Amino acid sequence: MAVSSKSARKTKRKKYSALGSKFLSQQSLSKLGIVSLALIKSRNLRRAISIVLFFGIWQFLCVIQFNFFINFTFLPPPVEVWNATVEFFSGNAPVHITASVQRVLLGFGIAAILGVSLGILIGWFRQIEDLVFIPLELLRPIPAVAWIPLAILMFPNAESGMVYITFLGAFFPILISTIRGVESTDIVLLRVGQCLGAKQLHILKDIVVPGAMPNIASGLVIGMGNAWFCLVTAEILAGRFGVGYLTWESYVTSNYPPIVMGMLLIGLMGLVSTLIVDLLTKLLMPWRVMKKQGV
């Protein structure tokens, strides 16, 4: 009687996509470029095309010196950025990258531990919420860059100040998502626990926290992105190394191709680490049914 939902879903999707393309070709919408792109069967091919398009359009706008409100005249085109990248990687790239990755991972790690545990406590105990939530909400909207002077005053060295600023980026999304996840625990499942004789600790461990896991996971994904988001700000404090430091330093010396390279590098490392977090949290939830609702 078990529902082999996977294969059922597959055939369903096939049916729908067949229906969809039929409908669209009837409307001859495929003449529009973007629509025909969306209809390409292979997802990897669609992804590859998206990257080619992104850099292609960028290069094109630089070559024609596009200047209508947004000005591409002085922007380094992808080819120049590529050259800067090659130069960077033939120098001491590993040192810069390692320094940045370490700061982000440390900041994110502390944020994950503190954010999730504090979030569970705030979400579950009214008293703890009353005691700490307002000060936290007060600190939340403060941008990372505003913390720079205080980070210098508060921490014994630049390194810990930088970790603190990446931590700030990751902490709040993780905290808020965890609180929301805990608060939205299904009342029926809580009652199930009570009727089976579960005490508070078991209810938290076996019902509340697993139920909040999807929310916690999205908090972690957003938090990881935000940690990278704060990296340039954090590495204003850095003396010599770091991808963010490099970006900031190139701005001071008006050397533009490395700035764009630094930006893209941060974007790329953010993308990869976010994917890893996403994958790891999915491994923690083998019970989840994932499906996109769109055809």
Partner 1 sequence: MATLADKNVSALVKGSVEIENLSVVFKRRDQYGPLQVLESTSFKINPGEFICLLGPSGCGKSTILNLIAGFLKPTRGQVLVDGNPVEKPGADRGFVFQQYSLLPWKTTFENVEFGLKVRGISRVGRTELVNDYLNRVGLYKHRHSYPHQLSGGMQQRASIVRALVNSPSVLLMDEPFAALDAQTRHMMQELLLNIWSDLKSTVIFVTHDIEEAIFLSDRILVMGVRPGHIKETVVVNLERPRHIDTMLSPAFVNLNRQVFELIREETLKSMELG
Residues that bind partner 1 (CB under 8 A): 1-3, 5, 188-189, 191-199, 202, 206-207, 210-211, 213, 285-289
For partner 1, the closer of residues 5 and 17 by Cβ is 5
Cα dihedral value 187, 192, 197, 203, nearest 10: -50
For partner 1, the closer of residues 61 and 198 by Cβ is 198
What minimum distance in Å lies between the beta carbon of 256 and partner 1?
A: 50
What minimum distance in Å lies between the beta carbon of 201 and partner 1?
A: 9
CB-CB neighbours of 59 under 10 Å: 16
What minimum distance in Å lies between the beta carbon of 144 and partner 1?
A: 35
For partner 1, the closer of residues 109 and 211 by Cβ is 211
What minimum distance in Å lies between the beta carbon of 205 and partner 1?
A: 10
What minimum distance in Å lies between the beta carbon of 206 and partner 1?
A: 7
- Burial class from Cβ neighbours inside 10 Å (0-12, 13-18, 19+) for residue 66 reads middle
For partner 1, the closer of residues 47 and 291 by Cβ is 291
CB-CB neighbours of 140 under 10 Å: 13
CA distance 234 to 165: 6
CA distance 68 to 281: 44
Nearest C-alpha neighbor of 170 from the set 262, 34, 273, 17: 273
For partner 1, the closer of residues 187 and 252 by Cβ is 187
CA distance 47 to 60: 20
What minimum distance in Å lies between the beta carbon of 222 and partner 1?
A: 22
CA distance 108 to 72: 35
For partner 1, the closer of residues 75 and 207 by Cβ is 207
Find the distance separating the first CA and the last CA of the chain, reported in whole Å: 27
